[in-house]
Amino acid sequence: MPQTIKLLGSSKAGCEAESQIGLLEPLPSTPLVGRPEEGAADPIRVLIVEDDVNYREIFSSELAWHGFAVYRFADGDALLGSLDATAEADVIVLDWRLPTISGIDLLIQLRQRGVNVPLVFLTSHTQPANEQLAFQHGARGFIDKTRCVEALASRLRQVAQAGKLY
């Protein structure tokens, strides 16, 4: 049974980290959810695909603290094996480089399988050619991992809101 991070009101401390995580991390039965945003009815549901356990933990915890419901996947195969989770998602966040399938190839496969959830790349591989390729294939954002979590949270809110208009 997967363990979830328990947030105690601060994004900097008070988190109970998960035990060892393998490449195929099961979808938690309950998402990570932190404090609700003022006036927010339902949290934005975000799927994060990130192979680096530290980044995955940090971004998941921080986004949950910002009021998002976060589901985590360690690689593209894990997400593809849980396509039912994408039906409930508002936004998908992908890393560019993943161990079994690249983020851009994962985006292409998701679209081929009929998954049209808005998608944002969160990557340290921010070359203009990568960004252009991501947008050509329908990504709605391309954010450098060195940016603050507030920038990511803001972009995810914009993308989720725009996705509800379609």
What are the pLDDT digits (tens) for 17-62?
Answer: 332 333 334 444 445 555 555 545 689 999 999 999 999 999 999 9
Domain boundaries, the chain: 42-164
For all residues of the chain together, what is the average pLDDT?
79
Given a contact cutoff of 8 angstroms between Cβ atoms, the answer to whether 111 and 103 are in contact is no
**Percent of the chain whose predicted confidence (pLDDT) is above 70:** 73
Phi, psi of 99 (to 5 degrees): -70, -40
Instruction: Kindly tell me if the per-residue pLDDT of 66 is higher than 50.
Output: yes
Q: What class does CATH assign to 42-164?
A: alpha beta
User: Are the C-beta atoms of residues 36 and 126 closer than 8 Å to each other?
Assistant: no
Is residue 15 pLDDT above 50, yes or no?
no
| Closest alpha carbon to 91 in 41, 164, 145, 4 | 164
Model confidence over 118-128: pLDDT tens digits?
999 998 888 89
H and E: helices and strands count for the chain? 6, 6
Token pair belonging to 17: 């980290």
